Every structure is written in C-alpha cells, then in structure tokens.
Structure 1
Amino acid sequence: MRAIIHTGGSGIEHLQQTEMPERFPGTGEVKIRLKAAGLNHRDLFLMAARNEHDVPLILGSDGAGMIEAVGADVDELLIGTEVIINPCLDWVKTDEVPSVPNILGGPTSGTLAEYVIVPQANVVRKPAYLSWEEAGGLSLAALTAYRALFTKGHVQPGNHVLIPGISGGVATFAALMASAIGAHVTATSRNGAKRAQAQQLPIDRVLDSHGDWVQEMGSHTIDLILDSIGPAIFSQYFEVIKPNGTIVVFGASSGDEITIPMRSLFFPQINIVGTSMGSHAEFAAMIALLEQHRIRPVIDHVYTLSDIGVAFQRMQQSEQFGNIVIRIDENN
C-alpha cells in the first residue's frame, strides 16, 4: 500500500512516500480503505521529537473510509460500511482517564496511508451528510472540542463562551458546537485576516487577542473560556470571567509556565481544569451532536497524499483556518 512514513531524523523534511506491505486485521479488528485523513499539531510534535534511530512511522490520527476486511469475532456484514475513525484507542469510559491516551498514528501506524487497521470499537458510521473530506479530518479536533465544552466545561444554552485563538480545528469546532446548542460565542485572534474569517462563522463577537477586552464587552461577562494559548494572554481571562466561571485548558501554544494571581482565583471561585482528547462514549456523543445539528467542519485546504510536506508546512506556519485534510483516494 502507498503510505507516508517519517524516518531518518526529526522534522517535516524526513517525510517520504513509500510502498508498505499489506497487512490483515486480527481478532476484533477492521481494515479500512481510507478516503481522507486529517492533520493535527500532534503530528508536528511527534516529528520534532523523533531522531534517526527511531523506526519508520506512519503518522496520522484522523481518517474516514470504507471497511474492506474484518478479523475474527467481527461481523462480516460490516464490510462496505462507511466509517469515521476514533483515534483514542483504549479510552472506553469517560471518567476513567488514562495517564497517557493511546492514540492512533504514534506509536501505532496511522492514517496517512491507503489502508489502516483499527479495533472495531474505534469506528462509527459516517453521517451521510458529510463528505469524505469533512469526515476524514474531524476526529481529534471535534472530540477535544466536545469534551472541553460539555464534559469539562458543562456548557449550557445561554452561556457566554470565549474562544481565544480562533483558527485551528478545535477552536472552530468549539465555536460551531457552542453556537448550535444556543450558547453565545466570543472569539479572538491576533491576526486580522483570521478575525475576518471568523466573522463568517456563527460567532457573536470577534476581538483582537491583544486588545482591551473589558472595553469591548465589559467585565465579568464570560461563563466559560477554552484556552489553548497559555501565558501570552492568560492573565486577561480574570478580567472578563464571571464568578464561578470555568477555564478549560487544552493547549499551550505560547508556553507551559503561567503566573496566576491567587486572589483573582479564590475570591471569585474560578475553576481551572485541563482536558485532552476524549473517550469512546464522548466520541459517539460528539458524532451524534454533529449529525443532530448538521454541523460541517471548517476546512482550510485539501491536499493530496503526494503534497503532504506542503500541507504540514502550512500547519507549522500557523497559516490555516480550520482543518487541513489529505485526500487519500485521489480517484474519489
């Protein structure tokens, strides 16, 4: 099968296209002929951490395609089913959080290939209204957004949600989901072009990340903040969040270390919680929410498998707005 492997060093320059031997599903597994896959920042982090001594790796966590073969203990009637892959392999129950989630595409072979083999428990039927490109690039971003909003953030209709850094897949999914259930959404970006793009989404207000938020929307107006940025703007959150409000942290693009004014934390009783990925149960609930509200992903760009280097460069340079998708089956 045709695949993209990372081998021989660190960074994007060590990606190469190759032919890999065919594999067959084992007990409880399904073999999927992939139609489309998605890129995530996780792929960049993995490539940066690898060296010339590491074994070749097929990257990619997101993917959608058709079941072509099944292993023992899997119903053969599933062959031909159109599915979306849940990349979190062993996280079954929502409250039983693994110390480190086992995610498709590192260390196990991922979705930047013509085929992938996963446990049957890690596939759900593709909603018919989604195109292959829409379905193939949504999994990790949509799952992370769902858990941040609902499981950790307990968002409710009428809540005011702040999403700083509205450009990546998680942020755009969070905006779409929050708006769909009747929450009010304010987003920020330091990039004027991305602020203009965000205004095309169902967002109530778009601000400059480094502007005066209090002047723009008043103090203590936010119920829930989804933070993926960290120290660059973290102190601003305390100027606008309501007493008993919640900050859900799912990333740290500007660094790992923050300083918190303790009185701004305990007097208004602010909740700060962390989150990442999600369980099998949350993945199923997320797909159901998308289907109920006919939510379509924001797709930044679709590339072919041969253009994988260009696609990753776009992500590395933070040029994207939404999900970057790879079309695997170029004849589809």
Structure 2
Amino acid sequence: MKAVYAANINPTDPLSALAVGERPEPQPRQFWSTVGVKAATVNHHDLWSLKGVGLPAEATPMILGTDAAGVLEEDVPAARGGLRAGSEVVLYTVVGADGSGVAPGERRSILSERYQGTMAERVQVPSANVFAKPANLDFAEAAALGTSWLTAYSLLFRAADVRPGDTVLVQGAGGGVSTAAIQLAHAAGLEVFVTSRSAGKRGRALELGADAVFESGARLPRKVDAVVESVGAATWAHSVRSVRPGGTIAVCGATSGDQPGAELTRVFFQDIRVQGNTMGSREDFARLLRFVEHADLHPAIDSTFHGLDAAPAAFARLLGGDVFGKVALTV
C-alpha cells in the first residue's frame, strides 16, 4: 500500500528524511481493527519524528501520522464498540494507555512511535480506539480531532480544570491546538483572550470566538484563571505574569523552544499551578466527539492537500510556520 513515512531521520533537514512509497499492508491482529484512511492531518509530532525526536533511526522506516478519519473495513464486536464494516470513523491513536489490544503493562505510545502511523491507505488500531465520526464533520475536519483537538480539550477541561464563566488566555493564535482551544472554550462559555504577533491571525481568532485579542506580550486588562501554553520560551514569562494567583498554566508543547526563564519566584509566591498534558484519555476523546457534534463545531482547516503524493508540500506548509488551523492530507 502507499504510505508517507520516515525513511530515516535528519535533525537539521527533516524533509529530506520524508518519503512516499509502498509499505507493507497491516497484518491481522487480535483485538485490532483495520481502517481505510480518508484523511489525516500533519502535526508537529511528525516533524519531530523526522528529526529523530522520539523516533530512533533503528525504528525507521516508520509510517507517520498521529490522527485519521476513514472507513472501517470489518465489523467491531459489540463489546468493543459495535461498529459495522463501512462505518465512517475517527481514531484515538494512543496505544498502551490501559492495555487495550496490547501486552499488559506496555508503555503508552502514539501511533508512528512504536506502531505504524496513519498516513497510509490503511491503518490498524486497537478496536477500542475506533469511534463513529461526528456526523457534522467531513473527513479532514474529523481527522483534526485525534491529536490537536483532543489535546486542547484535555488542556482546558482536565489540566486547567476551567469552568463556564472563567477566563482563559490562549497563547499564539494559529496552530492546531490554539485554534481548537479557542473554539472549545468559546462553546463552553469561557471568556477567551488570545495573543498573536500577527494582526491577521488576531482577526481570525475573533472570528473563531475569541472575546479579545492582544499582541504577543501585551498587558492584559486583568489576570486570567488559566493559560493554554503551547508556544514555550517566547511566551512563558507572559503566561506567568498573566495568570491569577492560584491559577493554572496548562502546557502541551514548546514550538519556540523549551528553555524559558522559569519565573520560579512568581510561580511559588502566587501559588501558580503548572500542569503538563499530552493528548488525552479515551474517555476524553469520546466526550470531545459528543461535544463537537452537539455544538456543531468545525475545526479550522488551514489547507488541504489531496493525495499522499502531496505529503512533502503539506509538511513544508507546516514547517513554514505561517498556518492558521490544521494542514490536512486526504487519501
């Protein structure tokens, strides 16, 4: 089958390690299901894999992709979801979190780390990780839910533990997690502040539901209850200054680097909680899908590239950095 994969790793030129070509078909595996992929999105995790972060050279070639939506190729037993062959589905791609479909005690991983990823004509996942696609979404929109939207949901409602009426600051409008956090927070009744260096992105954040937008580093009109932080070094000090005493900074990434000034004095004097988060639980994913369908939310799609052969252009788009929402790849 055709797939997009890391042929090797290259820390300085990740796109040179990217390949599109034939890879082995998924083999039957007890308690796993095969899905014909219709769309996936490109995530920073894929770029990091090409650089060798979390993916050693000896694990290549490795099919990339950490999320997908598609069509189920065989029935799933009722005890593991009850979906039928031909159902339109979306995938939860964390494996080993609770042992479903893997050896007891296997460490948690995401598809494309230990098991082949989603950027292929077919992918195999534990049957418990297959969910019905929200009826209001197309395949590209649904694919965005598995990584960025699940992360944003868990950041807001687990890590930050915000409630309707709270105020949340989303640092750095434009990325998949930040645009998802804006939409989810707005739909949940939160007041949403957003920062960006780009006037255009600040305007688009208002269209997604932000209540107020600010230049990066600007003083806010008041302290917020929580900060969604995915930028890292460039915004960390501002995040610490912007959260109220006793508030939470929920962290999921560091796209600008992971060596910020710690601001430890302010953190401990003001009882600020810093909570890390990577994606979310299977239960969070199920709640996210219901929320998206009930509220008729549609993930922001920056661009869609058609066919797996377009993967290098899709990856280059994300690597360039000037995106707003998700970069999607259809199969």
Q: TM-score, normalised by structure 1?
A: 0.89
Query: Which residue pairs with 1:159 in the alignment?
Result: 166
Q: Is 1:67 the counterpart of 2:69 in the alignment?
A: no
Query: CA 1:133–1:264 in 2, change beyond 3 Å: closer, same or farther?
Result: same
Query: CA 1:257–1:71 in 2, change beyond 3 Å: closer, same or farther?
Result: same
Q: Is 1:252 the counterpart of 2:258 in the alignment?
A: no
Query: Which residue pairs with 2:86 in the alignment?
Result: 80
> How far did residue 55 of structure 1 move?
2.9
CA contact (8 A) 1:36 1:137 kept: no
Query: CA 1:7–1:270 in 2, change beyond 3 Å: closer, same or farther?
Result: same
> How far did residue 112 of structure 1 move?
0.8
Distance of 1:287 and 1:74 partners within structure 2: 17
SS in 2 for 1:91: coil
Q: Is 1:182 the counterpart of 2:189 in the alignment?
A: yes
Query: Which residue pairs with 1:135 in the alignment?
Result: 142
SS in 1 for 2:110: coil
Give the residue type in structure 1 aligned to 2:115. Answer: T
SS in 2 for 1:213: coil
Structure 1 segment 223-262 matched on structure 2, within 5 A: 223-262=225-264
Distance of 1:137 and 1:238 partners within structure 2: 29
SS in 2 for 1:179: helix
> How far did residue 182 of structure 1 move?
0.4
SS in 1 for 2:208: coil
Give the residue type in structure 1 aligned to 2:86. Answer: G
> How far did residue 48 of structure 1 move?
0.6
Q: Is 1:28 the counterpart of 2:31 in the alignment?
A: yes
Unaligned runs of 5+ in 2: 100-104
Query: Which residue pairs with 1:324 in the alignment?
Result: 327
CA contact (8 A) 2:64 2:117 kept: yes
> How far did residue 44 of structure 1 move?
0.3
> How far did residue 270 of structure 1 move?
1.4
> How far did residue 15 of structure 1 move?
2.0
Counterpart of 1:58 (choices 57, 63, 83) is: 63
CA contact (8 A) 1:26 1:71 kept: no
Distance of 2:90 and 2:27 partners within structure 1: 19
Q: What's the % identity of the aligned pairs?
A: 34
SS in 2 for 1:118: strand
SS in 1 for 2:147: helix
Query: CA 1:23–1:275 in 2, change beyond 3 Å: closer, same or farther?
Result: closer
> How far did residue 266 of structure 1 move?
2.9
SS in 2 for 1:66: strand
CA contact (8 A) 2:37 2:120 kept: yes
SS in 1 for 2:33: strand
Query: Which residue pairs with 2:22 in the alignment?
Result: 19
- Runs of 4+ aligned structure 1 residues displaced above 6 Å come to 71-77
Query: CA 1:137–1:233 in 2, change beyond 3 Å: closer, same or farther?
Result: closer
SS in 1 for 2:165: coil
Q: Is 1:89 the counterpart of 2:95 in the alignment?
A: yes
Distance of 1:16 and 1:248 partners within structure 2: 35
Query: Which residue pairs with 2:7 in the alignment?
Result: 7
Q: CA RMSD in A?
A: 2.3
Q: Is 1:279 the counterpart of 2:285 in the alignment?
A: no
Deviates more, 1:284-293 or 1:306-315: 284-293
Query: CA 1:99–1:156 in 2, change beyond 3 Å: closer, same or farther?
Result: farther
CA contact (8 A) 2:233 2:260 kept: yes
Unaligned runs of 5+ in 1: none
